[in-house]
Chain A
Amino acid sequence: MELKTEGYRLHNISPLFLFIEAVKKMVLPLLFGIIGTSGDRQDMIIIGIAAFASIITIVQFWFYHYWLEDDRLVVKEGILFKSLRQVPYERIQNLNIERNLLHKFFKVGTLQVESASGVKPEAVIRVVADEQIKHIQKVIKDKGVVHQQKVAMDPGSSSVTLEDAVVDEPKPMYQMSNKDVTIYGFISHKALVPIGVVGSVLSQNDFYRQKFFNLVQKFVGDLHIEQWGLTEWLIYGAIFVFVMLVSIWLSSIALAFLKLYQFKISKVGKDLYAEMGLLTKITANIPIKRIQLLKIKHSPLHRYFKKVSVKMETAGGVTEQSGITMKWIAPLVSKFKGQQLIAAIQPEVDWGKIQWLRLEARAWKRVFKRMMLLILIPMLPLVYFYHWMGLMPLLLSPMVYWYAKAYMNKSGYAVNDQIVAYRHGVFFHTISIVKIAKIQNISYLQTPFDRRNGMARLTVDTAGSNPVTQDINLHYINQDTVELLMNQLSNKVSRSKFVW
């Protein structure tokens, strides 16, 4: 196929956004490092180099071209090391658009194209005009569909409805009210980690720690810490904890609003279309057939509000660091509505047919022993130093017993012709569901402990799965059952074709 060499250029305002992005990625982390450390001259030199490098990045604007072929998106970039990237439309997993206040002011947006490969997005087009984005979206959508139909040799169904849907604002299948966003922010405690990081960095630095103490003393008067008795410590400690909690809650809610304000998700033809965000607005297009795994999660706080979170995993490992991510189906939704949503997204699965099976009941002893080990090992030095007083942690054993029993009760798995599902977690409960057709390979694992108890573990791997948390990980099941399951599953997977 012959390729054009010239295509669309980026919007004229792009250098500004390229510069901002470079500054975000290079200079800010360094500045943060300096606050945390000494701020010597060599640090300033490094910052200077980083700033210079950020300015250089602007130059790439003149070397960035992209164009839309019949069946693929082509991106040409690079100054010294040129690259030409071709992404067939039907391989595009997600199409995400980001717009913050600055974008809105210039009527532009950042477009991110994701395929199933790698950690980095396939192409980030920073930035293009709004009309151009609409054009690209439409082309990718229409041509992707047309191409698929050609491949499937199925000219019967038409793509007319899809075209209309892109133009019209579809009726959302789920949207978040401000109250939902507030509750979600409260539940998530998202600000806990950033506040903790900032706090610990600042407390490492003598200068800032002193400054902080001075500020507090100016505000509430001299505290005379050296004269405090137990009651004062308790009172001030409680006040401190309370203030911290409230500020974590408030900032978590603020973060939730920034991210999820007016969250809306709708089903447009064969795609999911989502938008969200207060200052930075993100819109995402996810082909439903690209969804690899569905997850329903709830924590104790979720249960208090009688809500769950519904997430999905798509192929391709773009993380929050490497690009725009969209993993939500519904951040906060009632359990019933959540099930309805999933059923609406994947109507081909018979959700009523799922039968949950228990793990081996006798495995509670193994959970009990494992948890007790976690108590007994730290107890050893306690016993050494405090003698019989060090045995106090043993009082926790009834709790551990309860936990082990609860672990068995809350866990379960389900396998049928369409899906594999696993649920687990006493406090933080997760239900993960994978369609058989999305399974890539199947593993069986048996540790020496498993063997002693005649048990084994079954895991399946999918394209979008998180490498850290293994979502489908059927543990504490009889060896024979696992072997049987493995045979059944591999036969089912090898027979399952991709007809959508």
Chain B
Amino acid sequence: MKTFSFKSLEKNYLKVFRISSVIGVLLISLPFTVGSSVSLDLTWPLRVLVYISFVILFYGFVHWYSVYWFKAYQYQLTEAGLDIHKGVFWKQQNMVPRNRVQHIDITTGPLERRFDLSKLVVHTAGTRNATITLPGLLHVDAVELRQELINTNQTEDTV
């Protein structure tokens, strides 16, 4: 039975996280720009400038936040099972015992594929926390972790 103590996600996943947050930042900046343009009665060039500064402002926040987010996101494999720690303000730890794993998916998005990363989705028979995801693994590592979790999972009826 393989075990390892706390590991961080792949460094590249921080990039993936930041790139995918850009879309959100672009969208969120829109209402702020419209609001301030209307209330301050700005001209077009100024509006564009305001938009860009909002984007920079919000992205700056995301960039700063993502450092801590990445630092907090850690996982370990113990004899009992897979243990995932995450969260900056709202801290969260999820523990999936090895023998409660029902099945495991590996998904890869287009952006993740560029960095050869994958996301591990562990399904249990629970209801509220039935699926627990672990992103930012190298594809080979994800496959290995899946194999390890499935191998040690006794073939028993867990319901």
Contact = CB atoms under 8 A, between A and B. Distances in A.
B93 A443 contact: yes
Contacts of A459: 128-129
B20 interface: no
Interface in B73-98: 78-81, 83, 87, 89-98
Contacts of A441: 94-97, 100, 124, 126, 129, 132
Contact of B125 (A442, A444, A463): A463
A465 to B, nearest CB: 5
A216 to B, nearest CB: 47
Residue among A290, A317, A440, A463 with most chain B CB within 10 A:
A440
Given A315-B125, A441-B129, A448-B90, A491 B95 contact: no
Given A315-B159, A445-B92, A490 B97 contact: yes
Interface string B106-119: 00000000000000
Interface in A69-98: 90, 93
A446 B94 CA distance: 12
A493 B83 CA distance: 13
Given A444-B92, A446-B90, A494-B99, A467 B127 contact: yes
A490 B125 contact: no
A494 B79 contact: yes
B81 A490 contact: yes
B51 to A, nearest CB: 32
Interface stretch (B23-31, B60-68, B150-158): B150-158
Interface residues of A, number: 35
A116 interface: yes
B127 A465 contact: yes
A443 B92 contact: yes
B128 A470 contact: yes
A116 B78 CA distance: 28
Instruction: Tell me if B's interface is mostly helix, strand, loop or mixed.
Output: loop
A486 interface: yes
B130 interface: yes
A464 B127 contact: yes
Contacts of B126: 440-441, 461-463, 465
A105 interface: no
B95 A442 contact: yes
Contacts of B81: 490, 494
Residue among B78, B79, B156, B157 with most chain A CB within 10 A:
B157
Contact of A443 (B89, B95, B99, B157): B95
A446 B100 CA distance: 24
A477 to B, nearest CB: 14
B154 A486 contact: no
B129 A461 contact: yes
Contact of B80 (A444, A447, A493): A493
A134 interface: no
Nearest to A292: B159
A469 B83 CA distance: 24
Nearest to A313: B127
Interface string A461-499: 111111100100000000000000010011101100110
Contacts of B127: 317, 461-467
A24 to B, nearest CB: 28
A395 B65 CA distance: 43
Contacts of B132: 441
Contacts of B128: 459, 461, 465, 467, 470
Given A441-B129, A441-B132, A493 B100 contact: yes
B156 A498 contact: yes
Nearest to B90: A447
A322 to B, nearest CB: 15
B97 A493 contact: yes
A249 to B, nearest CB: 35
A25 interface: no
Nearest to B156: A498
A486 B96 CA distance: 11
A451 interface: yes
B152 to A, nearest CB: 9
Contact of B154 (A440, A491, A497): A497
Interface string A420-456: 0000000000000000000111111111100100001
A497 B93 contact: no
B64 to A, nearest CB: 17
B7 to A, nearest CB: 18
Residue among B127, B154, B157 with most chain A CB within 10 A:
B127
Contacts of A93: 159
A145 B108 CA distance: 43
A445 B130 contact: no
Contacts of B156: 497-498
Nearest to B88: A448
Contacts of B129: 440-441, 443, 459, 461
Residue among B89, B96, B98, B132 with most chain A CB within 10 A:
B96
Given A290-B159, A490-B80, 19 more contacts: A90-B157, A93-B159, A315-B125, A440-B124, A441-B94, A441-B124, A443-B93, A444-B93, A444-B94, A446-B90, A448-B89, A459-B128, A461-B128, A461-B129, A486-B93, A486-B95, A490-B81, A494-B80, A494-B99
18 contacts: A93-B159, A440-B124, A440-B129, A440-B130, A442-B95, A444-B94, A445-B91, A461-B124, A461-B130, A463-B127, A463-B159, A489-B95, A490-B78, A490-B80, A490-B97, A494-B98, A497-B154, A498-B157
Q: Which 5 A-B pairs have the closest CB atoms?
A: A461-B126, A440-B126, A444-B93, A494-B97, A494-B80
